[in-house]
Amino acid sequence: MNRYVFAILIWCSVASAQPLQPGDDGLCVRLLRSTLNLAPGPLDAETIVAANALAGLPPAATLTKQHLHQVLHARVGMAPTRTAVWLDDGTWYDGTTPAQRAETVAALLDRAQLDVVVLRAANALHPYPTRPSEFRRATGDAEPVDTAHEQREAAKVVLAMALRVKVEVGTWPPNITAVQQAVLTAQLVGLDVQGIGR
Instruction: For the chain, give every domain's residue range.
Output: 1-96, 97-198
**Do 191 and 27 contact (CB within 8 A), yes or no?**
yes
The Cα angle at residue 19 between residues 33 and 42, in degrees rounded to 5? 30
Which of 167, 179, 158 has its CA nearest to residue 87? 167
**DSSP category for residue 43:** -
Q: Does 3 score more than 60 pLDDT?
A: no
pLDDT at 111 over 90: no
For the chain, what is the radius of gyration of the CA atoms? 20
Predicted structure pTM score: 0.80
pLDDT at 1 over 90: no
pLDDT in tens, 130-141: 555 554 555 555
What is the total residue count of the chain? 198
Average pLDDT, the chain: 84
